[in-house]
Structure 1
Amino acid sequence: MNRNDFFAKLSAYPEHLKLVKSVGAPGLRAPSKFLVGLGAAQQIGSVAKGLTSGRKALLVSDGVLEKLGLVSLIASFMEDEGLEVVTFTDVEAEPHIETLEKLHASVKDSAIDVIVGLGGGSAMDMAKLVSQCLGKGQDPRPYIDTFNANEDHGLPLILLPTTSGTGSEVSVFAIVSAGDTKKYLSSDIFIPHAAILDPILTATMPKSVTAITGMDALTHAIEAIMHRNASPIVEAFGYGAVELISRSLRGAVNEPDNLEMRYDMLVGAAMAMMAFNLSGGLYAHSVSYVLTSYKGTPHGLGCALGLPYLMDFNLPVVENRLARLARLMCGDATSADQSTAAKQCVAAVVALMADIGLPTTLRDYDVPEEVVVELAKEMHSKYPRPGNPRDMSEDDSIGYWSAMYNGSL
């Protein structure tokens, strides 16, 4: 996407979507700048200049976005404001610590003043981590091995999502793989100094990525709502996110140029992560970690495969919450009976997955039946979730994974 393409897309939509809004959540830690609207990406240069007196920016992204022209587009908006831009585009999906080391080594002597992360969760997480390493003068492995959640921020950080799912642009999390283990770090220092949400940047996503990242966002919202730490504030963000995602994900997948639906998805993903920040993840995320290690499963797909079966497992203790979700997902078709409505909600998630072209069982995803018990035990031992509203024993974990395999709900 070049500048002409960007402005052509921008001109085709109504003014209310092009009203770039600075959003704040009173009482909650948030990026100091949180800009939302079609065309908001144009402001990246002025935002960067407002965060530092320096003039050298590092733009972290991936090879796909470089080929699509988004990296040069964002760099040009910064260069318009007199910034010198250094780019790194070797971030892979589910990045490993070796990638962070390569990134850090390439710029540690470059006197970088501000970091910009452009992409999905992988690129944004690499931007988060390198901003800390550069700002603190530490190499990546020692930084991660001795991570202190109470440290100060690193270099000024701006994040621009190009997917509508991870919510990394507003999250307290940074994730990197070391060997076959995912290391997930959590601290307010990973909330960027500025986040810019421009739906035009998500228009380049193929259908499969739109579907997978959309289910990642839905998982964040529903897990936050089911969590032991859920609160009225969590529910406000979580239910709002589910409503936006439920009404727009199918359209975003099937009508890729519909920027109104992509607007809903981008805002919904951010709201879902705000809820997730305040509560935490549950076993659908643990499923994703195991499947990523086992067969390189994209994070959002792993979460999606685990989500409806976790909802069903938790249903006896969160029936009222799932029944309320059903009213958002099923509308007038929702049963008046709470138990039936909760079941409808679970079925609605499965139907959504099928409608956007995702497998709904481990069998459909070509996971051999003979490894299911082994994977269930690995999840239970490596990725426990004390915040899950219903305790899960090892036998329960095996039953959970068996249900995922067979589609038993």
Structure 2
Amino acid sequence: MTKENNAQLNIKTLEHLNQHKNFPMVPRVVFGRGSFSSLGSILLPKRRNSDAPFIFLVDAFFEGSDLENRLPLLFNDQVIYVSAEEEPKTAQVDALVQKLKSDYTEEPSGIVGIGGGTLLDLAKAVALLMTNAGSSSLYQGWDLIQKQGLYHVGIPTISGTGAEVSRTAVLMGPEKKLGLNSDYTTYDQVVLDPDFLATVPKDQWFYTGMDCFIHCVESLEGTYLNAFSQSYGEKAYDLCKEVFLGDIDQKEAEEKLMMASWHGGMSIAYSQVGVAHAMSYGLSYVLGTKHGIGNCLVFQFLEEYYPEGVALFNQMMQKHQITLPKGVCANCTAEQLDTMATISLSMAPLWENALGADWTSKISKEKLIAIYKKI
């Protein structure tokens, strides 16, 4: 990432993003080791009455752990453990919403999501669909949510996706993988406790961290780049280099990666991601590949678009002795490859950010399929 590239701010950016759009940010955040213990006092004033519970959607990884005893449960609060092995689905959101509406006559006081990007996106979506009628698949897109959701709190236990700060909840739907992108999606409260990151397996730590790094590369190299997104993106980019290429201890790395994720998520409030994310969506939709590793699988072959970023990515993999799976698409049918490319090309804002307004003349389904075949 050269200083010259970083300095070339595109004045057309805001035209692409509904000029002077008043984007929301997370209004309240608490950071620090042990800050999870403040959750009870945060939720207490938000409880409407004893019959209006808080619903805790928690990564199934923590079932049976000491976290169960640390949850500030009162009255008829409910804990629902959810597997994060697969990407969150619209059908899963709809089923949870139906369950909660049948379990309680009183509307819940709020939703608390505890986990990685999968749980954080799921919790945001459930909070929205509790107050917006119909299937969550109807709201996959931009600014389709019409009503404010339930009060919702996000507590990341792994860092990199930026889901804790973003205005989208990415879901796998019956026809596409796409987020519920709206001003109502953003969390009302976030708790950033780096102690959680000590539980993350090394490969998952790397893949999710690379989601943040790739996120920053795409934002900083994009045609949507502006001073707002650049300021956050550069900070997250530098933090990722410290974490994955520097010589720092584990606790410092955990704290810095948590802040890289936060800044990386903020970097696209007035910007967008690019080629790797667009292609990862296709890979995930067809093969169910998790988002973090999906970005890595694609990014390794994108030197044409992000030469410096790919070079650093390779250094990071070597330093941490990460070997990506091979032959992931080896047995894909022509129909599956075509679907991957079709899903990817449907992400028009991502492609426009990556390649410019005339992006359709610079990329083709055939070129995408050729890249997928390498994975």
- TM-score of the two chains, using structure 2 as the length reference: 0.80
Aligned ranges 1:11-22 → 2 under 5 Å: none
Q: Give the 3 Å change call, closer, same or farther, for CA 84–366 of structure 1 in structure 2.
A: same
Residue 327 (structure 1) aligns with: none
Q: Give the 3 Å change call, closer, same or farther, for CA 192–399 of structure 1 in structure 2.
A: same
State which of 159, 162, 184 in structure 2 corresponds to 1:189: 184
Q: What SS does the corresponding residue of 1:188 show, helix, strand or coil?
A: coil
- Greater Cα offset, 97-106 or 138-147: 138-147
Residue identity in the other structure for 2:273: G
State which of 29, 37, 44 in structure 2 corresponds to 1:49: 44
Q: 2:354 matched to 1:388?
A: yes
2: distance between equivalents of 1:124 and 1:352?
Answer: 26
Stretches of structure 2 that go unaligned for 5 or more consecutive residues are 1-21
Instruction: Give the percent of matched residue pairs that are identical in Structure 1 and Structure 2.
Output: 21
Displacement, 1:274? 0.4
Displacement, 1:346? 3.0
The total of aligned residue pairs comes to 342
State which of 176, 179, 182 in structure 1 corresponds to 2:171: 176
Displacement, 1:375? 6.4
The answer on whether the counterparts of 2:216 and 2:237 sit within 8 Å (CA) in structure 1 is yes
Q: 2:311 matched to 1:347?
A: yes
- Greater Cα offset, 168-177 or 300-309: 300-309
2: distance between equivalents of 1:95 and 1:154?
Answer: 18
Q: What SS does the corresponding residue of 2:131 show, helix, strand or coil?
A: helix
1: distance between equivalents of 2:256 and 2:99?
Answer: 37
The answer on whether the counterparts of 1:38 and 1:199 sit within 8 Å (CA) in structure 2 is yes
Q: Give the 3 Å change call, closer, same or farther, for CA 73–236 of structure 1 in structure 2.
A: farther
Residue identity in the other structure for 2:125: L
Q: What SS does the corresponding residue of 1:242 show, helix, strand or coil?
A: helix
Residue identity in the other structure for 1:158: V
Residue 101 (structure 1) aligns with: 94
Q: Alignment RMSD, CA only?
A: 3.1
- Greater Cα offset, 126-135 or 207-216: 126-135
Residue 275 (structure 1) aligns with: 267
The answer on whether the counterparts of 1:119 and 1:163 sit within 8 Å (CA) in structure 2 is yes
The answer on whether the counterparts of 2:341 and 2:368 sit within 8 Å (CA) in structure 1 is no
Q: 2:63 matched to 1:66?
A: yes
The answer on whether the counterparts of 2:125 and 2:180 sit within 8 Å (CA) in structure 1 is no
Displacement, 1:214? 0.5
The answer on whether the counterparts of 1:305 and 1:404 sit within 8 Å (CA) in structure 2 is no
Displacement, 1:117? 0.5
Stretches of structure 1 that go unaligned for 5 or more consecutive residues are 1-26, 316-342
Q: Deviations over 1:348-385 (max 9, x none)?
A: 1222134334446x8x3532287686467435543342
Q: Deviations over 1:68-116 (max 9, x none)?
A: 443x1442xx23xx56421111344202222112211221142311110
The answer on whether the counterparts of 1:199 and 1:263 sit within 8 Å (CA) in structure 2 is yes
Aligned ranges 1:178-257 → 2 under 5 Å: 178-179=173-174, 181-249=176-244
Q: Give the 3 Å change call, closer, same or farther, for CA 64–365 of structure 1 in structure 2.
A: farther
Q: Give the 3 Å change call, closer, same or farther, for CA 58–377 of structure 1 in structure 2.
A: closer
Q: Give the 3 Å change call, closer, same or farther, for CA 119–171 of structure 1 in structure 2.
A: same
Residue identity in the other structure for 2:92: T
Q: What SS does the corresponding residue of 2:273 show, helix, strand or coil?
A: coil
Aligned ranges 1:281-300 → 2 under 5 Å: 281-300=273-292
1: distance between equivalents of 2:295 and 2:137?
Answer: 30
Q: What SS does the corresponding residue of 1:166 show, helix, strand or coil?
A: coil
2: distance between equivalents of 1:359 and 1:397?
Answer: 28
Q: Give the 3 Å change call, closer, same or farther, for CA 367–357 of structure 1 in structure 2.
A: farther
Q: Give the 3 Å change call, closer, same or farther, for CA 288–146 of structure 1 in structure 2.
A: closer
Task: Select the structure that is richer in helix.
Answer: 1
Residue 4 (structure 1) aligns with: none
